[in-house]
Amino acid sequence: MNYRHSYHAGNFADVVKHALHCICLAYLRQKDKPFWVLDTHAGMGMYDLLGEQASKTGEWQQGIAKILAAEQAPAALQDYLAAVRSLNSDGQLRWYPGSPWLTAKQLRPQDQLTLCELHPVDSQLLRDNVAEFSALGSIKVMPQTNGYGAIKALLPPPLKRGMVLIDPPFEQRDEFATVVQALADGMRRWATATYVVWYPIKDPLVVGEFHQNVAAINGVDKLFATDVLVRTALDRTTLNGCGMLFINPPYGVTSQAAEVLAFLTPLLAQDRGAQWQAKWLKGE
Ligand SMILES: C[S@@+](CC[C@H](N)C(=O)[O-])C[C@H]1O[C@@H](n2cnc3c(N)ncnc32)[C@H](O)[C@@H]1O
């Protein structure tokens, strides 16, 4: 395992991912009924953008730094931006929250969160970084756990509403196929959940094939995809953009996703080929 998210924290891909993640959480919170979130690839939970690793790449300068500096962000972005600002109250951008911290911040007493992280160091840091929420009593950090295995082991959960967030590093050549298999495993066990998958866009053709394979999974009737390219995909071996795939997206997320991506894409653009799309692949 070579991947460390600390090199990439707050980059354009995190902005897209976390903005849409926060919108999903806001919809889950609209009903009093409790919900459960399983974060299969949780990372460390909190990142120091001035630390050695994030400073080495400086990727956050092209990501969250641009978004915080922008004016007139749509209301749908406010939960995300408020969370980042709350960590940097002196106005200097230094701390950036990961998906576990963003979820923990939105959790109500009746809700639950389970976090899986396989890297031995990051899994310990994760535990420390969400400790401030431990009074809630409803956050479980699994000790150094394979998130794909957790899908098989923990689904279906006792709480009937919820979301599975799958955000792998895509270091392995077969990671897209592994994700398809994980979604099939999940759907067999818990067909009514919302599944949210982040994926890289290097070669758009690979993404098209991934979409088709997810659409073919038994029980997938509602499938929505959002893609952002931050530059023209001339070199198809580099990260040109990213996407989020939603099985059973909470009602309303799809229109807000379009509004948010229309705002974010020009700010994250690295050349004139930047573009976004949000579309139903199945259903609606
Ligand atoms: C893209 S990062 C996650 C970022 C995090 N979701 C966030 O938004 O803040 C991917 C993480 O998955 C971890 N990882 C890799 N393979 C895993 C697996 N099979 N199960 C659980 N975690 C894994 C890596 O160590 C890395 O921290």
Q: What is the CATH number of the domain that holds 75?
A: 3.40.50.150
- Domain enclosing residue 158, as ranges: 5-282
Closest protein CA for atom 4 of ligand 1: 43
Give tens-digit pLDDT for 213-262: 999 999 999 999 999 999 999 999 999 999 999 999 998 999 999 999 99
Give tens-digit pLDDT for 40-66: 999 999 999 999 999 999 999 999 999
Ligand 1, residue 150: give the atom nearest the CA.
20
Answer whether residue 183 shows pLDDT above 90: yes
* Burial class of residue 268 in the structure, from the number of CB atoms within 10 Å of its CB (0-12 exposed, 13-18 middle, 19+ buried): buried
Q: How far is the CA of 272 from the centre of ligand 1 (A)?
A: 31
> How many domains are contained in the chain?
1
Whether residue 99 has its Cβ less than 6 Å from ligand 1: yes
Of 14, 167, 227, 235, which residue is the catalytic one?
Answer: 167
Number of residues assigned to the chain: 284
Closest protein CA for atom 1 of ligand 1: 169
Distance CA 69, CA 55 (A): 19
E runs forming strands in 98-135: 112-115
Q: What local confidence, expressed as pLDDT, does residue 239 receive?
A: 95
Mean pLDDT of 118-144: 92
| Active-site annotation holds for 32 | no
Q: How far is the CA of 71 from the centre of ligand 1 (A)?
A: 32
Buried-exposed string 166-192: b where 16+ CB fall within 10 A, e elsewhere: bbbbbeeeeebeebbebbbbbbeebee
Give tens-digit pLDDT for 8-32: 999 999 999 999 999 999 999 999 9
Q: What local confidence, expressed as pLDDT, does residue 228 receive?
A: 98
Distance CA 273, CA 265 (A): 11
Mean pLDDT of 68-77: 95
Q: What local confidence, expressed as pLDDT, does residue 210 receive?
A: 98
- Specify the pTM: 0.98
Whether residue 59 has its Cβ less than 6 Å from ligand 1: no
Look at phi and psi of residue 250 and say left if phi exceeds 0, alpha if psi is from -120 to 50, else beta.
Answer: beta
Answer whether residue 137 shows pLDDT above 90: no
Q: What local confidence, expressed as pLDDT, does residue 25 receive?
A: 97
Which residues share a beta bridge with 277?
A: 227
Which helix (H) or strand (E) segment is 189 a member of? Answer: helix 175-189
Answer whether residue 1 shows pLDDT above 90: no
Whether residue 117 has its Cβ less than 6 Å from ligand 1: yes
Which helix (H) or strand (E) segment is 260 a member of? Answer: helix 253-268
Ligand 1, residue 116: give the atom nearest the CA.
21
Q: How far is the CA of 208 from the centre of ligand 1 (A)?
A: 23
Whether residue 169 has its Cβ less than 6 Å from ligand 1: yes
Ligand 1, residue 98: give the atom nearest the CA.
9
